[in-house]
Amino acid sequence: MDTQSTEIPSTEAPSPAEPRKNQLWREIVELGQSLILGALLAMVLQIFIQPTIVYGQSMEPNLHDQERVILDKVSYHIGTPARGDIVVFPVKGEPLPLIKRVIGLPGETVEVRDGRVLVNGVALREPYVSGPTVGNMASVRVPADTVFVMGDNRAPGGSLDSRRLGPISLSKLVGRARLAYWPPSNLGILGNGVIR
């Protein structure tokens, strides 16, 4: 006669190590997800914006040496610069990128006469400069796909810009300065006429 044995389910509680192991695994997964999300966000931000530092006095009185600004790196891929934009671009032979203001657009003529900048023969209203533009410059036509840039500091030797470099190719523009963020006392949006 066969005897069947019936198994009695164990009433033993799971070992205390088991819940700790599950909790540790969950925390590792959550940390991994956070790190991946953070890395993706950093990559996306790097594609669209870039922090940069202002070097020198060429953009005074609006931007100062060692001031920090945020560049918008997308605008000029989907549109074109506007007069008054503050742009950053590299220059061969210069160790650091330059930051200047767009003065002349493709097809326009730019001239400096008697302390004033003329675009297409009309004196440009420049609320962002603190004094006259020193020196004269004969009329220059801005070629297609370039811009004529100048620093806001128009004193002698105040800015290395298109008066010496010539017009700057649009393809060289790294981006447009949109926001000043350091030092905190200078925090503000950088518009065409500098709003802070």
Above 50 in pLDDT, residue 195? Answer: no
DSSP lists the bridge partners of residue 189 as: 179
Kindly indicate the confidence band of residue 25, based on its pLDDT and cuts at 50, 70 and 90.
Answer: confident
Q: pLDDT tens digits, residue range 31-44?
A: 887 777 777 766 66
**16 has pLDDT over 80:** no
Give catalytic residue positions.
58, 100
CA distance 106 to 88: 18
**Number of domains, the chain:** 1
CA-based R_g, the chain, Å: 29
Average pLDDT, the chain: 86
Which domain CATH number covers 176? Answer: 2.10.109.10
Q: Could you tell me the two tokens for 22?
A: 């599950």
- Domain contains 25: no
Q: Which domain holds residue 163?
A: 50-189
